[in-house]
Each structure stands twice: as C-alpha cells, then as structure tokens.
Structure 1
C-alpha cells in the first residue's frame, strides 16, 4: 500500500502449563515464557508501530507478594525498549540466581506463568503511554483484578458507555478501551460476588471462598453477559488475577486469532506464522479461534473453546489477506499470488499482448507476492501465445522464426524502490513539496524511452496521494510511453470502523471520482437526496438500516470509476499516459475464499454499527465535518 494508513494491533498470550523448573531443565532457561513472548511480538511487529506493552501474572503467590507486573512504552524503538526494560531486572544476578526459577519468581517481576503482550497501531487520538495496552483494573481481591488488551474497534461505544452509567459506574473517560475494560470488569465483579454470596451461607470463611471462586468462576457466563451488546470487530484477551485467562473473537470473525497448545504451553497470537516460528510447530497444528467463541485457559490448566456470542455470517477481513498480515503465512502467500494472477487478463488487454515493450514491476514490498502471481500468469499467457504462433508456422517451421518466438520473455524488473525516509529541515511548504516526489527512487537505464510501457502492481490504492505526488512523477522520469498501475485490491469505496484508519469519505480517491462523475453527468442532486436519507436513517432500529451510499455508486459502471480515478491521479505535468486497473470484487473472493469481509469495496457491512458508520461518514462529508464517523 503506497498510501500509509494505520490499522490493526497485534496480540500475544503465553500460558506455561508446567512448573517453571520444567522449562529450566528442558530448555536451559528460567525465562522461557519471556523468550517466547518476545519472539511472538517481534514476529508481529508489522501490526503495531505506536507502542507495545507486556503484562505477567504469577500463579499461587501468597498475600503481600506482587503477582502482577506490567510495562508499556510508546517510543520509536518500542520493542527494543520494552524488552530491555523487562530484562534489565535480571542484570547482575549470579548464575545460581538465574538458574533458580523459583527464586526468580519470588523476587523478580515478569517471571509469571501467564503473559499478555500487545503491539499498538493507534487509529486515532494521541499516542501517549496511557493509550498503550495492556490495561489494568486493580482490586485488593485477587479474582477481581483484570488485565485486558486487544485488537478491536467498537462502533457503539456511546451505547456501551451509557449502559455503564446506568449500572452506576462513573467511567473516567469515554473511550473504547476504558469502556471495554469496565464492561468486562463489571460482569467479572458480578460473577465473583455471586459466588461469594453462594458459598458464604455454607460456612466457608473468606479465604476458603477465594479458592472456591478460582474453581467455580463461570468465565463463559460473565463473558456472554459482558459482550452481549458489543458491535464491531475484535479479538480481546484478558487475564484474571488468580490465573484464569481468555481470548474472545467477534461473531463475524472480522479480526484474526490463532492458537496452539500442548501439555507444556498454550499460545495465542494474531497471526499463525508467529506461533509457528516461536513454538516450532507445523501449519496444521495451529488452530483458528472460532468466531463468536472464547478460548478459555483455566488456572488448573484446562483449555476449551466456548461460545460467547451467536455466530453470524463469517466476514473475516479481506484486507488481512491483501495487505496487513505478514505474507509468511502459507495461505496468505498463495492468496496474494492468486490476486496478482487474476489481474493478468485485464493487463494483457491494456498492453495489447505486447510483451516485447512492456516492463512489469511492483511497489511497495507488500505487493511482491501479488507480483509473483502476476509473473506466473504472464508466463502462462505468453506460453499460450507462443504455442499459437508456433502452430501457425506449420509442420516444418522456419528455425529463425521459431527462435524469434521462443526468445520472447516477460520483462520483470525492480523499478521503484522506497528510499530511506527523507527529512526536510526547511519550513516553507514549497520547498517541502519539492522533496515529496523523492520518497521513492527508480532504476535508471532499463526503460526504452517513449517505447516501453511500465506495469506496476500495488496491493491497494486508498487516497492515491503518494501515487500522484511521488510514484507517478518519479516513474515519468524514466520516459516510458505509458504507465499502468494495477491494484490487487478492488476500489476502496467505503470507510472502515472495525480497526483500520479509513473513516473519512473525502479521503478515498474512489469516492472523489464518484462525486466528479455525478457532477459531470448532471446528477449532483443525488448527493443531497442521499444526504437526507442518511440523516433520516440515524434514529432507525438496527433491522431497518440500509447503506444509502451504495446507490450512488450504482449510477456508474466499475470501469468508468476507474477511468476517473486515473484522470484524478495523473499529475498534470507528466508526459506518459496513465491507466489504473483495479481488481474486481468477484476475483477477490476467488483468491481469498475464506475471508469474505469486503465492506471496504462493496459496502456490505457485517454489523449494524458498520451501516450506521457509513451513513454518518457521508453526512459528515456533506456537512464538511472533518471527523471520524464513530467514537
């Protein structure tokens, strides 16, 4: 994605299922859990660049001993600083101390059996340390202590906040993180109190009741109550002070979650390859957490998947496959290749099957897998063309002509390279603007001037700002006859509200193209009519909601919108013709059959909150309100 956008966070949970001495004896380290957590977070660093945090819980610590530790950081070197801070507690220890897990557990922080890590990608607001996960809800009663972190965005924070107020709470701020923490915490408190009230008349003292709560706490029940009204995309993890843990996934499966466990360890992460690398297990040993379920890890070591919210149609985010997740996942890698391959026919028609004078390349690095797929598709297409040409030579072909046919190969080159981040210390806008095109560098001397066509595949085009102000300008310096930009994702037409920072309609080049077409074709009045319907939709119940913006796009064929986008993004002062080709939604589904969440492209939102958001985003556009359409 040449346009930088912020997106989803990363999550990691580690539960050591054996005594700490076991890991020291088998693996030679007393810090086995920390080592695994560091590797899990390092392998998911693509999911957060604004901060990181880690929390640990020690099991069976006596009163008066610290059993919860937490560290968070929002520095530019967040992972380095996080783990340097954690491991600093073990500097200058004697070999005897480092080789004694029980001594470390009694005397040093971060030596617990239960670990929760988080990588933050802030989609809005500040990046202060207070916004970094995990969050703590502290209490002197051990089973009421709660640590929470997640990869989530809720569309109905206002509703959930108001419900907390009606429950008698007084939240310190109106944010999704605080609301989630207090919502889960309230029902945890309620469940703990229910058990206390149940056992007290039986004659147990308060200390005995604590132990009974550990054994009888109904995690599934209180999570069902806590998550009942959540609308959005989420994977949320929680640790309870006495040692239970849970990870909950939304009922549409929008946000990802994977897990593995054996008799030694249980691990949860946002990405499958992170678990495969950290634990050294095979692809088919890592399971995907079922949508609407919670993975519950009890203090006694039992592990189960339990239904928390009734499942709805699976709408796992397709952007995970196109861009966000690391391409080291087997399925994602193959799907990205397929996305590139499925674009070949459109590209071939645009270049009139001219392999001789066409150069194929990609930008940025996340589009490399799609480029490989396009390479294979082009090689297959060329082979088919060669077979046809050879057949036309007859049974006794001329050797020279045969050699000419066989010598033609697709020209695959690395043309555009993202340079080191440029900084300008000049304050005026004109000077800074002159620096913008040089974010990318190019390989000179490969393109035949005014003869070659450049085909450059990108994984997606959101705003098109970098494409227009940098990539197209720098490619034009190579003096190609034509530049074709190919997007492995369809046109991004609608805002997201489930964890990705794409919330304002005016920022989408596809929407700007739509507005331009409406004006050109004398249909500008439809904007006002749609605005009125969106306003009227605001107070309707969920079952009457409708995405009113979809009708506007229905006014024009898909390719017409692409043509207008090409026109909008072509810099006025470059010589080559520019054409932008987009993936179709149908091909997206063919390439990524398991992740059908396509609301960015189709407008088919999986939850009522998403429909409210898209209508509100359109109202904000019409009212010139520069704000997100959700809290």
Structure 2
C-alpha cells in the first residue's frame, strides 16, 4: 500500500504455568516471561506504531504488596522504550547485588513487572488525537483483588452509543464516549456482579471474608462474565484481559473479524495477533498453533487450567481479508501463499493490457509489502511463457535456428523501478512547496526502460485514495518516458468504509467512490441519500446498505476506467491504465477469509450497514467526520 493507512492493533498475552524458579533453572533467567513478551511485541511492530503498553500480574502476593504493574509509552520506538524502562529496574538490582538476580522469590517480592501473567499491546490509532491515555492496557482498579481488571485489544465497536446507554441503565456514568471505555466498564460491571454473587453465596455458608476472597478467585465463572458483557457488542474484536487474582482471557468476535492465535504446552500459554510472532518467539511449528475460534474465549484460570468456551453464537466466518492482502506479516505460511496467488491471478488481465508483448514490458512493484504478490505474478508469467514455448515448439522442425532461439529466450523483464526514497523533511511551510517535496518521495531506476517503446507494469497491494499515485508515483515513472504505464492492484476496488479497526471511514477519500460518484446521476444519488436518511434511526438489524445501489449502475471496468482518469496527472505523457483484482480472484486466493466488506459492501455485523449509510450521508451533507465513534 503506497499510501499510509492505519489499521489493526497487536495483542500479546503470556501465562507462565510454572513457578518463576522453574524458568530460571531451565532457561537461565527469571526474566523469561518478559523476554518472550518483548519478542512477541517486536515481531508484531507492524501492527502499531502510535504507542504501546504492557502490564503484568504477580500471583499469590500477600496483602500490602503490589501485584499489578503497568507501563505505556508513545515514544517513536515505544516497545524499545518500554523494555528499556523495565530493564533499568533490573539494572538497579544488579548494581545492588548481582546474586539477587538468581533469587526468584526476592525478585517477585521486590521488583515490578516480574510476574506470571503478562500482557502487551501495540496501538494504531484509527482516529482522534494520540495521547498516553489512549494507549492500552487499561486498568480498572479496586481494593478487592478479584475485582481488578486489566484490558487491551484489537477492536472497534460500531454501536458505542448503545453500549453507553446500557451503562447508563446499569447506573454507571462513563467519563468518555469511546469503545475502549465502554468495553472496559461493561466487562468490569459484570465482573463486579459475579464477585458480589459469589460473596453472597459463600457468606450464607458461614465463611469468613478472607476465605471468601480465595473462594471467589477459585469459582469465578469467566465465561459467564464475558457472555453477559459481550451479548450486544457489534464490531470486530480480539480482546484480552487479566483479573487481579490471575485469571486471564482472550475473547474473539463471532465473525472472526480480528485475528487471535495461541500456543500452549506444559510450561506456557501464549496468544498473539499473528502466528509468525509466536513461532519466532517460541520456536514452534505452524501446526502446533491454533486460532481462538470465532465467538469463543480462551480462558486461563489462576490454577493453570485452559479452556476455550463459546461466548456468543458463531456467525459466518468473515475474517478480515485485508489482513491477508496487506496488514499481517507475509511470513505467515498461509498468508504468504495467498499473497502469491493474488499476484498470480492478475496475470491474464495484465497480459491482455500489454498485448502479450513481454519483449517491450518491464515489471516491477511498489511498495515492499507488494513484493510477495509480485512473486506470484512472476510465477504466473513464467507459466505463461512455458506454455507459449511448448505450443510454439511443437512444430520445431519448421522453425529456423533463430526462431527457436527467440522462443527459448522468452522471459519477463523484471526490474526494481520505483524506489521509496529517504523520507524528506517538509521544513518549508508553504503548501505548494510541501507538495513539491512530496512529489520526490519516490525515485526511479534510470536506464532500464526504452523511451517511447516500453510499457511499465507496477504492482501495488492496494489503492485507497490514489493521491500518492497522482502526486508522486506516476510523475516519477513518467520521467522514464515509457509508452504506457499500468498500475495493478492486488486488492479489489476499495468502495466502502471500514468500521472494525482500519482507518478507512470517510467515503469521499476513496478513489473508487470518487469515480462512481463522478459517473452517477444526481437524481439517483438523491434517492439513495433519502433511503439512507429514512432508516438512520431504525434498529441496527433492520438497516440495509443502500449505497450498493449506486455501484450497481456501473460495471467494474467502467469504474476502473474512471479511476484511471482521476489519478492521471494533467502533465502525464504516457498512456495510463489501472487494473484491479476482482472479488472472485480475492475469494479464490483467500478462501478461508471472506471478510470483504470494504470491496463488496457485505458487512458481517448489522452495525456496518448503519456506518456505510451514515458515511454516505455525511459525504452528501459535506461533513468531514467519521460515521462511527
């Protein structure tokens, strides 16, 4: 994606199933858990660069001693900053007495962050201002150990207003209108309810209060707390939580929109947003990892028991396909193959666009995240060449030696043409001057294109706004004087806003939407607007995505041609064509991850239909605001 789009946050949860001394003896350090948490977070750094945070819980601490530690950072390298902060605490121990680093009991009783339950979070802010208060984990504190809640996650809720209303009805008065606050307080409320119910139950049986506290920790029904809390959540979520006494959970939405994977053995349970992070940190095989099932929660009790329990009825699986196209690291076994297939499936369209003239076509890609899809395109072209050679050489006896040589020498011209240059500082304040600098964000490799003869094909993993194409990339490619430039997107046309965690909420920013609106009849636009407006106050389940009616008036090719016109700079000399992956191609490449609402408008939750209609209404009304909180 040549344009920056903020997207999914990253989660990491570790539960050590043995005493700290076990890890010290086996791995040579009492900091085993912290070291692994650092690795998990660094290996998911792609998922959040606006901030990060960690929290740890120490099990079975006596009254009067701190058992929850938390630290958050918004430093440019937040993960490094956090663990530098933690490291300094142990540097102080070494300065006091190096032998104390071998005393696990002393460390646990005297140094923060060394515990058996560890949580990490990487934040990508999808809207609003960045501040330390926006960084996860969030902490709901209480003097009762079993009422403390530490929470973080990768989530966006579409029905924050409804969730707030529920909290009001419960008697609460949240300090902020945000999904992080509503989720924290909703789970916190039912955690309090569970505590009170267990307290009353054991009190009637004659137990004293200190004993009751221990019994509450032992008998707490985490699944029931989550069922009562999440019954009206509408959104995509992987939410991880820790209770003060040591129970922990990871809850996933019923459609499996947001990812969560876990690994367990007799030493550890670990959860992360991406499989390769766990594989790298713990050196485990792909087949040993599992997904937290949609609508389920992985629950790790204080006693070390591990269960996966259904919290909500699973819906049709709609895991985010953008995870496969762009967001997740391409080192995941399945994602790597899917990205290659996305590139390979584009080959017939590309060959048609270049007139099957490989001799005068140069292939490249931009940015680096498109590299794997480009490998797939290369494979597809290689197969085409091999099939062409076989067909032509069937009559080899009738060919001259020169003709045979030409056939055998068929190949694709692969070059590194667009290059992301060093980030330029826009120290000049005037907008016109800043735009001029933006035009030089990319550079090119000179001398590999024959002016006026060759076609340049550049693969991108997705095209959202088209701004970078128009202002920078196309002008840069045009310096090479190609006959034609073809921009190929391995993702389909992005037509609809996301409301489950990606910063794609204002429809007017999408070049595909701009193209459609430039073609649409004003009367039809007004009719669709009125339809959206009349159902805005209906229950979520009764709302229809009426914006689809606008797109239905035009073919995929018509919109692609209009996109081409929109992104073409006025001074471009080369002919331009923009080619997109098809929805069918996306589903063929990513058969198990059908969450395609940004392309198709088929939202997995009712709240999505409300968001798309509101986004369209805001566009028509000239409101530059998000359609959800």
- Alignment TM-score, normalising by the size of structure 2: 0.99
Q: Cα RMSD over matched residues?
A: 0.8
Cα displacement string for residues 45-80 of structure 1 (whole angstroms, at most 9, x for unaligned residues): 000010000000000000000000000001112111
Cα displacement string for residues 206-246 of structure 1 (whole angstroms, at most 9, x for unaligned residues): 10001111111011111100001000000000000000000
Query: Which stretch of structure 1 is more off in the superposition, 365-374 or 75-84?
Result: 75-84
Q: Which residue does 1:470 correspond to in 2?
A: 472
Q: Does 1:414 align with 2:412?
A: no
Q: Distance in 2 between matches of 1:155 and 1:442?
A: 42
Counterpart of 2:276 in 1: which secondary structure? helix
Q: Superposed, which structure 2 residues align to 1:210-359 within 5 Å?
A: 210-359=213-362
Q: Which residue does 1:377 correspond to in 2?
A: 380
Q: Does 1:129 align with 2:127?
A: no
Q: Does 1:528 align with 2:512?
A: no
Deviation of 1:396 after TM superposition, in Å, equals 5.1
Cα displacement string for residues 388-440 of structure 1 (whole angstroms, at most 9, x for unaligned residues): 222244x3532221011111210011111111111121111121111111111
Q: Does 1:543 align with 2:545?
A: no
1:459 equivalent among 461, 472, 475: 461
Q: Distance in 2 between matches of 1:543 and 1:148?
A: 29
Q: Which residue does 1:593 correspond to in 2?
A: 591
Cα displacement string for residues 142-199 of structure 1 (whole angstroms, at most 9, x for unaligned residues): 0000000000000000100111011111111111111110000000000010000000
Q: Which residue does 1:66 correspond to in 2?
A: 66
1:579 equivalent among 554, 577, 580: 577
Q: Does 1:43 align with 2:64?
A: no
Q: Which residue does 2:603 correspond to in 1?
A: 605
Q: Superposed, which structure 2 residues align to 1:77-156 within 5 Å?
A: 77-92=77-92, 93=94, 94-156=97-159
Q: Distance in 2 between matches of 1:603 and 1:229?
A: 22
Q: Which residue does 1:423 correspond to in 2?
A: 425
Q: Which residue does 2:10 correspond to in 1?
A: 10
Cα displacement string for residues 128-152 of structure 1 (whole angstroms, at most 9, x for unaligned residues): 0000000000000000000000000
Q: Which residue does 1:29 correspond to in 2?
A: 29
Cα displacement string for residues 11-51 of structure 1 (whole angstroms, at most 9, x for unaligned residues): 00000000100000000011000000000000000000100
Q: Does 1:391 align with 2:389?
A: no
Q: Distance in 1 between matches of 2:601 and 2:475?
A: 32
Q: Distance in 1 between matches of 2:311 and 2:592?
A: 22
Q: Distance in 2 between matches of 1:427 and 1:215?
A: 61
2:181 equivalent among 178, 183, 186: 178
Deviation of 1:572 after TM superposition, in Å, equals 0.7
Q: Distance in 1 between matches of 2:326 and 2:495?
A: 17
Cα displacement string for residues 342-398 of structure 1 (whole angstroms, at most 9, x for unaligned residues): 0000000010110100010000000000000000000111111122222244x3532
Q: Distance in 1 between matches of 2:208 and 2:238?
A: 37
Q: Does 1:161 align with 2:159?
A: no
Q: Distance in 1 between matches of 2:352 and 2:572?
A: 24
Query: Which stretch of structure 1 is more off in the superposition, 93-102 or 104-113?
Result: 93-102
Q: Which residue does 2:550 correspond to in 1?
A: 552
Gap runs ≥5 in structure 2? none
Cα displacement string for residues 469-514 of structure 1 (whole angstroms, at most 9, x for unaligned residues): 1110101001111000000000000000000000011000000000
Counterpart of 1:438 in 2: which secondary structure? coil
Q: Which residue does 2:618 correspond to in 1?
A: 620
Deviation of 1:542 after TM superposition, in Å, equals 3.2
Q: Distance in 2 between matches of 1:540 and 1:64?
A: 52
Q: Distance in 1 between matches of 2:478 and 2:199?
A: 73
Q: Which residue does 1:480 correspond to in 2?
A: 482
Q: Distance in 2 between matches of 1:433 and 1:170?
A: 46
Q: Distance in 2 between matches of 1:598 and 1:526?
A: 25
Query: Which stretch of structure 1 is more off in the superposition, 139-148 or 441-450?
Result: 441-450
Counterpart of 1:123 in 2: which secondary structure? coil
Counterpart of 1:311 in 2: which secondary structure? coil
Q: Which residue does 2:407 correspond to in 1?
A: 405
Counterpart of 1:33 in 2: which secondary structure? helix
Q: Distance in 2 between matches of 1:383 and 1:353?
A: 14
Counterpart of 1:91 in 2: which secondary structure? helix
Q: Distance in 1 between matches of 2:429 and 2:23?
A: 56
Q: Distance in 2 between matches of 1:64 and 1:73?
A: 27
Q: Does 1:506 align with 2:504?
A: no
Q: Does 1:438 align with 2:413?
A: no
Q: Distance in 2 between matches of 1:621 and 1:392?
A: 61
Cα displacement string for residues 421-473 of structure 1 (whole angstroms, at most 9, x for unaligned residues): 11121111121111111111111111111111000000000001111111101
Query: Which stretch of structure 1 is more off in the superposition, 539-548 or 165-174?
Result: 539-548
Counterpart of 2:64 in 1: which secondary structure? coil
Counterpart of 1:356 in 2: which secondary structure? helix
Q: Distance in 2 between matches of 1:546 and 1:403?
A: 60
Deviation of 1:574 after TM superposition, in Å, equals 1.3
Q: Distance in 1 between matches of 2:476 and 2:26?
A: 56
Deviation of 1:541 after TM superposition, in Å, equals 2.6
Q: Distance in 1 between matches of 2:103 and 2:214?
A: 28
